[in-house]
Structure formats: C-alpha cells, structure tokens
Amino acid sequence: MTGLRYVYAVCRPLGAPLQAELTGVAGAPAKLLPHHGLIAVVSHVPEYDFAEEPLHAHLEDLDWLSATARAHQGVIDALTVVTTPLPLRLGTVFRDDSGVRVMIEAREEEFRRTLDRLEGRVEWGVKVYAEPESEQPEQPAGKAASGRDYLRQRRQRARAHEDMWQKAEEFATRLHETLSGYAEAAKLHAPQNAALSGAAGRNVLNAAYLVPRRDSEEFVELVDRTKDDTRADLSGVRVELTGPWAAYSFAGELTEEGVQE
C-alpha cells in the first residue's frame, strides 16, 4: 500500500493491548510498528494531505489543524492508558515503514533515556488569569460632582487596576515557585492569546508540571488549596488546571538541553 507514515509516539512494548480499532489522524487506524525493542505508533496517511506541501497548506487551516490535533491527542490518550508514551510533535511524517525504522535506530538511545525519565509521570497544566474589576460590568461609580472629582475617581480606578495586576503577577510567581518545588520539572509556555482561547481575563501564567502519576492527587490538592490562601484579596484571579496530559512539554528537553535541564 502506498501512502506516508504519520508517527504519534514512541513507546516501550505494551503490557496490555491497545484498544481495538483506534482511529487516528485522517480517520486512519493507529498501528504498532515494533523495532529494536521499541514501538512506533503510526498511521498510513495519504500523500495528497500529508506530503510536505499540502501539510503546510493544511496547517494554516484552523479547522483541519484542530481535527488533526484532536485525533493525534486521541491516540496519545489511548496509549497513556496502557503505557507512558513519548509523544512526537504534531506532523511528523515519514515516507514509509523503513523510514520510521531508520529513525528509531538513529535515536534509539535517546528514546530509551527519555522514556526512562518519563516513566510513570504525567503532565499537569496550570494557568492563571487576571481580570480587573473594570473589565467586568462596571459598577455605578457615583456621580462626579465636578471635573476634578471625575479625574480623581479615574485616578483611583487606575491605581486599583495596577494594584490588581501586581497582586496577580505576584500570586502567579508564588504559585509557580510552589508548584515547581513539588514537581520534578516545570516548563513555562507562552501566555495564551485571549482571541484564541476565548478565555476571560489576561493569561498571566501558562505552565506545565511533570508529576509522578502516584503523586498527582496531591498535586491537584496543592493547586486547589491556593484558593483558600488567597481568596480575600484576589477576586479577579482565576486558576485553571488541565490534565493529566502525556508529558508533551517534557519530551524534548534531552535533545535540546543536553542530559540535564
């Protein structure tokens, strides 16, 4: 059969069977390609969509990107149930099975090291949003009796605004320190664009934490507890937790940073 090979992840031989009829990108089934004691999880994908040029064009199509990203994630999720996968970046495509095998041979040692490091770990995402009061429906501020009163009220609002940002930033920094202390590794992502996320407020922290699966409950409680510590003076701050994820944000460290971060 012709077609290209889309690779989702590399993992160790599975201890339990993968769910039957797992569908991946382009509606193609995800299959296991064992080689040298490792397994690449691949789909046969059509050249007209996944060769370099069409793929480039597709990536600018948010609907296509969205469907492909969710399909990729679906396969990684299914893998996470039975093993600790090493996820590859979206859009990693090879010409044929032998191309995938050659890639595994070339990176065998590195894959094993990273798989050892990630074994039994998951990633949690924590985001902090800050939303100043005035971006919420405005309170009737009381009538300004004169131009001077009006200016004073405006200054007061601006100051309250600044205080709020500062408190939110301080809170985010403190939270990140606390969570980093607990996690095995931490990674800061770029703050998310509200236009893309549709979330209210400004994203002041967008972080990922690598946590042993067995400690996850405690980690989630730690995040949850922050609300009790700070409820009083942080009404405009919101913390959002996502996960558990496969360790996407920690898969690449070794290749880029050497052996240790």
Partner 1 sequence: MTVVERREIALVDLLDRLLAGGVVIKGDITLRIADVDLVRIDLNALISSVNEQVPSPWGELT
Subset of 21-80 contacting partner 1 (CB under 8 A):
50-52, 55-56, 59-60, 65-66, 69-70, 72-73
Between residues 30 and 103, which has the closer beta carbon with respect to partner 1? Answer: 103
Using DSSP's 3-state secondary structure scheme, residue 42 falls into: strand
Q: Within positions 213 to 252, which residues make up the interface with partner 1, using CB under 8 A?
A: 223-224, 226-227, 230-231, 234-235, 237-242, 245, 248-252
Contact 122, 235 (CB under 8 A): no
Cβ 182 vs Cβ 167: under 8 Å: no
Helix (H, G, I), strand (E, B) or coil at 48: helix
Angle between helix 216-230 and helix 147-182 axes, rounded to 10 deg:
150
* For partner 1, the closer CB: 18 or 123: 123
Nearest residue (CB) to partner 1, 152 versus 225: 225
Half-sphere exposure of 214 (CA within 13 A, CB side): 2
Nearest to 253 by CA among 65, 123, 128: 123
Contact 45, 58 (CB under 8 A): no
| Residues of span 172-211 touching partner 1 by CB under 8 A | 189-193, 195-199, 202-204, 206, 208
Residue list 126-145, contact with partner 1 (CB under 8 A): none
59 vs 144, beta carbon nearer partner 1 = 59
Nearer to partner 1, 18 or 128 (CB): 128
Show the site string, 84-123: x = touches partner 1 by CB under 8 A, - = not: --xxxxxxxxxx---x--xx--xx------x--------x
93-94 and 185-188 as β-strands: parallel, antiparallel, unpaired?
unpaired
SS3 (DSSP) at 193: coil
Total residues contacting partner 1 (rule CB under 8 A)?
72
- In the complex, the smallest distance separating the C-beta of residue 25 from partner 1, rounded to whole angstroms, is 11
> Is residue 161 a contact point for partner 1 (CB under 8 A)?
no
